[in-house]
Structures are given as C-alpha cells and as structure tokens.
Amino acid sequence: MTDIDRAAERLGKTKNLLVITGAGISHESGIPTFRGNDGLWQNYRAEELATPEAFERDPETVWEWYDWRRGIIGKAEPNGGHLAIKELEELYDNFLLITQNVDGLHGRAGNTKMVEIHGNLWRVRCEREGTTSMLMDVPLPSIPPRCKCGALLRPDVVWFGESLSPHALGQADRAMEACDTLIVVGTSGAVYPVASFPSTVKSRGGFVIEINTEPTPISSIANIALYGKSGDILPELVKALRSNPAFSPS
C-alpha cells in the first residue's frame, strides 16, 4: 500500500476534516513562497517589510512591495491543489480550511468554509478609522494609497508582532478540537501561532497528513508525510479517496 493509499484510507474514515495551507500551495500558480531558495525573503528582509514598524517608517516601500506582489497574484490562477481542496470541501459536511495565504486563490477556487488567518492583500484598512474595503487596482494609481478621510490605507494582513483576529483564532481552535484529520499543505511551519496547530491537533488525538516538497518541523509529528508538489499530490489523493469503496461522501 502506498502512502497516498494510506492517507486516502484515513480520509475515507474521516468525519471532520481540517486543512491548513501555506505559501507552497500557490507556488505552482507562479506565486513566490517566503522562505527557501526562490522565496520572497531571499531578496527582502521580513523585518523591513512585514512589520507595523516598517510601515510606520516607510509606507511607500512597503506598498511598493505589495503592489509588486499584487501584480503577480492578479495574473495567477488557482492550480490543481486549490481545486482539489475545493473538492474536499464538497465531500465533507464538516470541513474547514485555514489558510495563511493572503492571495485569495482559495476563494477564487470556490472554497467558502475558510479562514484567511493572516488576512487578504486585496483588502485595505484605514489607519485612522479602522474600516476595511477591497482595493483591486493593479498597479495602484498612487502609492501609498489613502482613505477618503486622508489617512493612510494599509494592507489588511497580519504582520509580525501583530495579533491574529480573536474570531479567526476561535474558529481555528474549535476546528482543531473537532477534527479527526488534519491535512497540512505547503507551509514551512516556521511562523506561529499556525506552526503549532499540527501538534495541537495531534495532542488532541487527531491524525496529521503533511504535504510538502521537503521535510519540515511538522514532518516529525505527521502520521503520514507525502513529499511532492501539492498540485500533483492533492488531486491524486482526492482521486484515491473517491475510489475508496468504504468512503461515502457526507
């Protein structure tokens, strides 16, 4: 029996599925990851761009970085990995996707039972009023963009040192408590609190399946680690699940 078959067998018995994704799932859509050889932070230092201090110091540079990324993401399409996760949402009544990605590709693939736990880079927030709105222009007509009230707009994302939304954390906690299986895809497991979610699920009795091109700190606690591109492995896994005679979609 292959590891994919073993994973499909587990999914066949699963009643409540949690999926967590990171930048790796969007890599095959042409979006750079953060860490690794061609990661975004080979060229930029995180502390210079993804912190509130950096934005306070130099909003123009931070917005130029986001404008560049919005240009890449605006042209990208969901890949086979995103579409397979959308299929999983259809197959399970009890399903939640937690994505660390701010690119919006899971939503474009059709997922609705989803928490964008680090925000969304198409949404902006007024620094003075705290109100949010969508800003889809690519490239931005002026940098840094401003609210009608005159204050700076910022990307509605979670930077280092900022708290994640208590509502999103509550949803994540309930899903970690309820799920019997977690599939964790394309994350280096370097950024907290999400990096701790797989071990939380495991300690609460859940089964952890990791999908990544390479081993990560999550691999040591995963029950099954599937190494390869998520755009190949996830569709294969869904196919194996669908052909499992013991599986009846809920």
Catalytic positions, written as ranges: 118
By the rule CB under 6 A, 59 interacts with ligand BJW: no
- Of the candidates 108, 121, 107, 116, the one whose C-alpha atom is nearest the C-alpha of residue 40 is 121
- Widest distance between CA atoms in the chain: 62
By the rule CB under 6 A, 35 interacts with ligand BJW: yes
| Site map (CB under 6 A) of ligand BJW, residues 72-111, x = contact | ----------------------------x-x---------
- Taken in order 219, 225, 227, 229, the sign of the CA dihedral is negative
* H/E run at residue 120: strand 119-126
By the rule CB under 6 A, 210 interacts with ligand BJW: no
- CA gap 75, 224 in Å, rounded: 34
CB 95, min distance to ligand BJW, A = 20
Tokens of 218: 């999550």
Size of the site for ligand BJW (CB under 6 A): 37
- Cβ–Cβ < 8 Å for 178, 16: yes
By the rule CB under 6 A, 43 interacts with ligand BJW: no
CB 59, min distance to ligand BJW, A = 14
DSSP string computed for 175-232: HHHH-SEEEEES--S-STTGGGHHHHHHHTT-EEEEEESS--TTTTT-SEEEES-HHH
CB 37, min distance to ligand BJW, A = 10
By the rule CB under 6 A, 170 interacts with ligand BJW: no
By the rule CB under 6 A, 27 interacts with ligand BJW: yes
Select 220 or 243, whichever has its Cβ closest to ligand BJW.
Answer: 220
By the rule CB under 6 A, 24 interacts with ligand BJW: yes
